[in-house]
Each structure stands twice: as structure tokens, then as C-alpha cells.
Amino acid sequence: PEVKEFLKELPKCEHHLHLEGTLEPDLLFPLAKRNNVALPQGFPQTVEELNEKYKQFDDLQDFLNFYYMGCQVLINECDFYELAWQYFLKVHKQGLKHAELFFDPQSHTERGISVDTVYNGFAKACSKAESELGISSKLIMCILRDCPLQKCQDLVEKEAAHLIKEGKVHGLGLDSAEKPFPPTLFTNIYASAKKLNPELRLTAHAGEEGDHTYVKNSIDFLKVERIDHGVNSVQSDDLLRELSANKTMLTVCPLSNIKLQVFQDLKELPLLKLLEFGVPFSLNSDDPAYFGGYILENYYAVHETFGFDYKIWGDIVINTIKGSWCDENRKTELI
């Protein structure tokens, strides 16, 4: 109980959270109804049935199939706003102070929804979270790596170019099915995004189901300064030394890794090896509505498994703050 209070009070930041992954079944069904969206054949009919499905996924793709079906109920700006606002209310109670939030425009533009509808809804929730809850946030737009390359390029260079140029999206990320879509495919798109706005921050999912070369190539070709997941980095000591030397942060997602069967047991999560090599990492919830826990439940799960002392928790949280993409004044406030 005392340690739970301690974990709750820590000034936590989240770096790996997909806003579409916060769609709880108890919001999904009402939105489907409100927007007259017919869910696909065979989709669970009730909150209970859907929660039953979410108990276990076979792998990343099995989860993604449900994630993209869920996205279909999001239509209007107010839907995106409501989704993000519900997230902020939940994590506010868990002691979250700063959030860097992924969103996937292509899961909506494919259905005829404009990038601005999506962005405006999310951005409104972010402003309100800052003024009413004291949570700072940044939006990171992700490319779906399993979409045709030309569409990915159009997203960056056309549909969302204004958001990048004006600094409305703070970072660019890369997500969805990893293994058949190595990072090198996206080298030119990352370069042209950075050209649109040299201040754009860059990250990519890598080393979740792909091996350590996905991590190394994301750094070398995409020029990312952070890696999402990155747990397979531990396959290469050379890579770990490089991550440590350059202070490249891994945004680790413990409960996600269990639900998607990246690991069978949290004990296999390579946090001790990362600590040993001095590789900075943060702990994150990824898609909390699907994976059974928000940021604090991820902290709890790690504590139950590893039993870190106060000193190690302090170091983890300080590294997390330092690795955040907020300005230096905000970092000082948080520490």
C-alpha cells in the first residue's frame, strides 16, 4: 500500500500511448450507435464479450485487427476529443504529468475523415488537459508501415504537411505491423518530414517483433532519437552500448508485451539488462484499453515483478523526464 502510494505520487510521463488505443469498450459501443456505424461481421456484440476477447491476443497482428475495427466508430471531431479527454481524466488520477501521444491519421483518412478533424479533436483535449488538469502534452503523428508507401508519403508531404510545418505535430512516429516492413522503406519519407520542419522530433516502433537490426536501422536510416518498444535491442550488446552512449531512450510497454505475447512472463522483460548497460527507458501503457492497464498499472506490474527500491524508481523517473520532448522549463518543474 505504501509503495503503491509512492508509485502514484511519482511525477510520471508517458511517451508511448496510442490515442486510438484508449478506446474502451464502454465508449466504443455508444459511439458506434451515435454514429450509425455497423461493426464488422463477427465483432463482439457487448462490452463483456469484447473484454473477453481483449484478455489475450495471439500476436501484434491479432491485436491490430481489433484496434483498426475499433477505429471505425470515430467519425466526428467531438469523438476524437471525447476519446482523448477520457484518457486524460483517467491518468490525471494516476499522477501523470506529461504525455506524448501517438495518433494514426491513416486509420481515419482511409475512411474519408480529414486529418484536421482528427487533429482538432485531439488538440482540443490536450489544451483542456493543460489548463484544467495541469498535464502537458505533445502529439506525435504516426505512419502506418503496412499502408502503401505512396500513401505514407502523401500523408507526410500533402495531407498533414501543414501540421508538421506549423509545429502542431511535435513528432513523427512509425507503427503497425512491424516485421514485413523494415524501417529502411521509410528513409525518404522521414527525411522529407524533417525538411518540412527541422524541429520535428523523430521516433519509430522497432524491436517489438522485429529483431535488433530494426532498432539499429531506425537510428541509422530514419535518424530517430528515440525507439518505441526496442526490447529486442538486448539481442546485441554493441547496440546496447550505442544506445547508452547516445542516451537513446526506449519507450518500453510492459503490459503490452505480455498481452501480445512478446514475452510470456514479465520477468523476461529485459529491464535489468537495460539498467546494467545504462540504456535509458520509460514505462508506458501503449494501448491501455486493449492491454488491461494505464500508466500506473504498468508501474505496479513492474514493481511486483522486479521489486525496485526507491533509488531505482527515482532514477527511472528522472530518466523519463529527461528523455521527454517538453522544454527545459517544464522538465525542471517536473523534477
207-235 exposure pattern, b = at least 16 Cβ within 10 A, e = fewer? bbbbebbbbbbbbebbebbbbbbbbbbbe
Q: Which does 201 bind (CB under 5 to 8 A by kind): ligand HPA, Zn ion, none?
A: none
Region near Zn ion per CB under 5 A, out of 128-136, 233-241, 261-269, 283-291 = 283-291
Output the smallest distance, CB 312 to ligand HPA, in A.
25
Residue 205 · residue 233 · CB < 8 Å: no
Residue, CB closest to ligand HPA: 175
Residue 270 · residue 234 · CB < 8 Å: yes
Assigned C-alpha cell, 314: 527515482
Among 82, 104, 209, 286, binds Zn ion (CB under 5 A): 286
Residue 209 makes contact with Zn ion by CB under 5 A: no
Output the smallest distance, CB 111 to Zn ion, in A.
21
Output the smallest distance, CB 67 to ligand HPA, in A.
6
Output the smallest distance, CB 237 to Zn ion, in A.
25
Choice between 14 and 286, CB closer to Zn ion: 286
In angstroms, the CA 62 to CA 79 distance is: 25
Is 287 known as a binding-site position? yes
Is 16 known as a binding-site position? yes
Q: Which does 14 bind (CB under 5 to 8 A by kind): ligand HPA, Zn ion, none?
A: none
In angstroms, the CA 155 to CA 53 distance is: 32
Q: In what order do the strands lie in the sheet with 249-252?
A: 12-18, 96-103, 136-144, 171-175, 201-206, 226-229, 249-252, 281-283
Residue, CB closest to Zn ion: 286
208 is catalytic: yes
Q: Which does 208 bind (CB under 5 to 8 A by kind): Zn ion, ligand HPA, none?
A: ligand HPA
Is 286 known as a binding-site position? yes
Choice between 97 and 205, CB closer to ligand HPA: 205
Catalytic, out of 208, 225, 297, 328: 208
Output the smallest distance, CB 16 to Zn ion, in A.
6
Nearest to 145 by CA among 188, 178, 115, 171: 178
Assigned C-alpha cell, 226: 528515440
In angstroms, the CA 69 to CA 92 distance is: 28
Residue 125: CA count within 13 A, CB half-sphere: 23
Positions touching ligand HPA (CB under 6 A) are 18, 21, 60, 67, 175-176, 205, 208, 256, 286-287
- List active site positions: 208
- Residues annotated in a binding site for substrate: 287
- Residues annotated in a binding site: 16, 18, 205, 286-287
